[in-house]
Structure 1
């Protein structure tokens, strides 16, 4: 954990400068380190002490933002055990980071769902007692988030009861996966 206040302030300035550029409509491919440094009031060498390039910065900010979203999500671990509770916490969790999510994933909501899925799968896979549990977790999480993502990407209103039922059905199917022993 970084505790040096100078490092914290420098990273915050770089982050805010990058997000300001992106929020103004500049795509990642057009963001220049020089522009970030000018806004953040840091030297390029300082930027490169913390990040490899603009894409590394973008990737780290996406991960940090999703991590922060999941930290504000008390029911994130209930996708398999209590799908309705998981879904009730979904919107407030996203809302906690909505401004940064909109900027970082502008025009790429599917990338956001993939990152969230990856983080949740990693979390559940680490807890799996055996391969069957790991497969069941991946199956249910991917199915639930894919369904939720499709509804959101299509711009429709999602019916949480329907999605909860889908997740419960996915869990039931996953529970029938043989151990493979």
Structure 2
């Protein structure tokens, strides 16, 4: 990629994150973003369709980067507790950025994007389960349960909450897989 294009893109991203850290997505204008990034509006539009496209692109990049850094994604159904621990550690490593990008009206988008990425990962490793209703339900159930349990209970400390959630996830997944494989 052309270095100038990459620098412009990085300038747009930095300006967006700075603005987003103080304001709701809906309150950020292209005009102020371009002023902060020191670019023309036409330059912005050569990279992104609108502010929502920019936000969605960055959100997706965060989720994809976490999923790509999992050391053994094939363990998702074999050792669900270990997999979920590694997944949560990946999200904790990007906690500040996640807190900015997925705040306000975008808060529910994180778990939705994780679900899409997780199912792609699972069905890439286990294509025979792609159309299996029970596996799809199990993945959604565990993911949404873990996600909300973690974020609602962080006041108890990330490490103890993570420990409880990963243990419960492992037991829940094992029981669900037994039921599915009957």
The 5 Å alignment of 1:157-172 reads: 157-158=161-162, 159=164, 160-172=166-178
* 1:98/1:154 CA distance change after superposition, 3 Å: closer
Alpha-carbon shift at residue 75 of structure 1 (Å): 3.7
Equivalent in the alignment of 1:22: 20
Gaps of 5+ in 2: 155-160
The 5 Å alignment of 1:36-115 reads: 36-107=33-104, 108-115=106-113
The 5 Å alignment of 1:124-143 reads: 124-130=122-128, 132-135=129-132, 137-143=135-141
* 1:111/1:173 CA distance change after superposition, 3 Å: farther
Alpha-carbon shift at residue 127 of structure 1 (Å): 4.5
Contact 1:144 1:163 in 2 (8 A): yes
Deviations 1:128-156 (A, max 9, x none): 443x4542542332122112013124226
Within 2, Cα distance between the matches of 1:166 and 1:74?
22
* 1:78/1:109 CA distance change after superposition, 3 Å: farther
Gaps of 5+ in 1: 177-181
More helix by share: 2
Give the total of aligned pairs. Answer: 172
TM-score, with structure 1 as normaliser: 0.84
Deviations 1:53-85 (A, max 9, x none): 000001001001111222233244422121121
1:173 aligns to 2:179 (yes or no) = yes
Contact 2:67 2:87 in 1 (8 A): no
Alpha-carbon shift at residue 116 of structure 1 (Å): 0.5
Contact 1:80 1:141 in 2 (8 A): no
Within 1, Cα distance between the matches of 2:64 and 2:127?
24
Alpha-carbon shift at residue 165 of structure 1 (Å): 0.5
* 1:54/1:154 CA distance change after superposition, 3 Å: same
TM-score, with structure 2 as normaliser: 0.84
Quote the RMSD (CA, aligned, Å).
2.0
